[in-house]
């Protein structure tokens, strides 16, 4: 399955980018951040568009952000990272101030096709390019993190199509969409990219509560997405003159946390901090000791951990 993903994706990449050329190296320096992603990077864009927030009794997978205006109990990782890297406006919600802030991530987005085109990588990139007059600064960092919702869609599809053919198509479409998004930004002038791979969806309470078969399927699909993405990025790096791609392995980080939660100051990596379908006292007493806030989203403490790891990663380049 993975080999076919990679082969198809490489064909798309070869059409999107021209002849092979070497890329420039060096320590990354960024004039700004521009962020594209889903709820894991949304700093309040869905709230800006809808004005809605989730209230108790909470559901395992929320249909609206929480009172923090985010899909967690505080700031998301890229807001902290942008502050620490000296470009705070890059982490803030672009749908609130389109010509000032740089984060276009929208909760519920997929890399691949969606019922609402805005909630895709292509839709977010088009919105950004429209706001900047079609010219992307070569000195900014373009952060792309998708995959979680694409993998969850593929897992749902597997329940009705056990051949995994539909799931394979969903994963392939997501990977190809990431390539297309990078291609469009590159054509507009972007040269520096931070790409995060799909998290291990098999670790989420939404999946573990469904039993071993669901866990196994989610693991397989998460790995398939990441294998396809890795192969595609290899080709992009070799085919796009001057491009710099920094790859952060979120899947590996979550695996490390699961293997030794105490090393990351966590005690509970299995349950959600929230108690669902209750009105009285739905929030756990010590959220900072939980990996997950709800059935699919991490706590603000986990977001902070991710921000610290990504900052160290970028500074080591």
Q: What is the mean pLDDT of residues 176-199?
A: 99
pLDDT tens-digit series, residues 215-258: 999 999 999 999 999 999 999 999 999 999 999 999 999 999 99
Q: Does 17 reside within a domain?
A: no
Confidence of residue 92 (pLDDT cuts 50, 70, 90): very high
Mean pLDDT, the chain, rounded, equals 94
CB atoms within 10 A of CB 16: 20
Q: Does 15 reside within a domain?
A: no
| Strand spans (E) along 16-86 | 33-37
Residue 13 has what pLDDT?
A: 46
Q: What is the mean pLDDT of residues 277-281?
A: 97
- For residue 108, give its domain range: 2-10+28-315
**pLDDT over 90 for what percent of the chain?**
91
Residue 34 has what pLDDT?
A: 99
Q: What are phi and psi of 35, to 5 degrees?
A: -120, 135
Residue 263 has what pLDDT?
A: 98
Q: Is the pLDDT of residue 11 over 80?
A: no
Q: Round the CA-based radius of gyration of the chain to a whole number and report it.
A: 19
**pLDDT over 70 for what percent of the chain?**
91
> Comparing 19-33, 35-49, 216-230, 256-270, which segment has the lowest mean pLDDT?
19-33
User: 113 burial class (0-12, 13-18, 19+ CB within 10 angstroms)?
Assistant: middle
Q: How far apart are CA 90 and CA 87, in angstroms?
A: 6
Q: Does 23 reside within a domain?
A: no
Q: Is the pLDDT of residue 36 over 80?
A: yes
> Comparing 5-19, 188-202, 244-258, which segment has the lowest mean pLDDT?
5-19
Q: What is the mean pLDDT of residues 188-202?
A: 99
Structurally, how many domains does the chain consist of?
A: 1
**Which whole-number Å values give the CA distances from 154 to 90, 224, 255, 257, in the listed order?**
31, 11, 21, 25
Residue 28 has what pLDDT?
A: 58
Confidence of residue 29 (pLDDT cuts 50, 70, 90): confident
Q: What is the mean pLDDT of residues 92-109?
A: 98
Residue 14 has what pLDDT?
A: 46
Q: How do strand 268-272 and strand 290-292 relate by DSSP bridges? A: parallel
pLDDT tens-digit series, residues 117-166: 999 999 999 999 999 999 999 999 999 999 999 999 999 999 999 999 99
Q: What are phi and psi of 103, to 5 degrees?
A: -100, 115
Residue 1 has what pLDDT?
A: 53
The pTM of the full predicted model, rounded to 2 decimals, is 0.92
Q: Does 210 reside within a domain?
A: yes
143: CATH = 3.40.50.1110
Q: Is the pLDDT of residue 6 over 60?
A: no
Between 115 and 26, the higher pLDDT residue: 115
Q: What is the mean pLDDT of residues 40-63?
A: 99
Q: Is the pLDDT of residue 93 over 60?
A: yes
Q: Does 197 reside within a domain?
A: yes
């Amino acid at each position: 399955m993975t080999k076919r993903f990679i082969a198809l994706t490489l064909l798309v990449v070869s059409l999107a980018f021209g002849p092979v050329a070497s890329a420039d190296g060096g320590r990354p320096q960024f004039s700004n951040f521009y962020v594209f992603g889903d709820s894991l990077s949304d700093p309040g864009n869905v709230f800006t568009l809808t004005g809605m927030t989730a209230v108790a009794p909470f559901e395992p997978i929320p249909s609206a952000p929480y009172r923090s205006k985010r899909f967690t109990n505080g700031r998301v990782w890229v807001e902290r990272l942008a502050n620490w890297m000296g470009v705070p406006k890059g982490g803030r919600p672009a749908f609130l101030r389109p010509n000032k802030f740089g984060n276009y991530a929208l909760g519920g987005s997929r890399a691949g096709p969606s019922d609402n085109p805005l909630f895709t990588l292509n839709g977010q990139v088009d919105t950004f390019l429209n706001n900047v007059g079609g010219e992307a600064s070569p000195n900014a960092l373009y952060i792309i993190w998708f995959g979680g919702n694409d993998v969850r869609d593929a897992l749902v599809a597997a329940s009705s199509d056990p051949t995994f053919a539909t799931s394979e198509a969903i994963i392939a479409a997501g990977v190809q969409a990431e390539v297309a998004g990078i291609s469009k930004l590159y054509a507009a002038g972007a040269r520096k990219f931070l790409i995060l791979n799909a998290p291990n969806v098999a670790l989420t309470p939404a999946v573990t509560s469904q039993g071993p078969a669901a866990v196994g399927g989610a693991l397989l699909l998460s790995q398939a997405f990441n294998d396809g993405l890795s192969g595609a990025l290899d080709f992009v790096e070799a085919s796009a003159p001057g491009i710099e791609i920094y790859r952060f392995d979120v899947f590996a980080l979550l695996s490390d946390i699961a293997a030794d939660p105490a090393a990351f100051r966590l005690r509970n990596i299995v349950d959600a901090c929230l108690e669902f379908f209750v009105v009285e006292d739905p929030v756990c007493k010590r959220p900072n000791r939980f990996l997950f806030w709800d059935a699919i989203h991490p706590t603000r403490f986990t977001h902070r951990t991710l921000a610290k790891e990504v900052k160290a990663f970028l500074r080591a380049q």
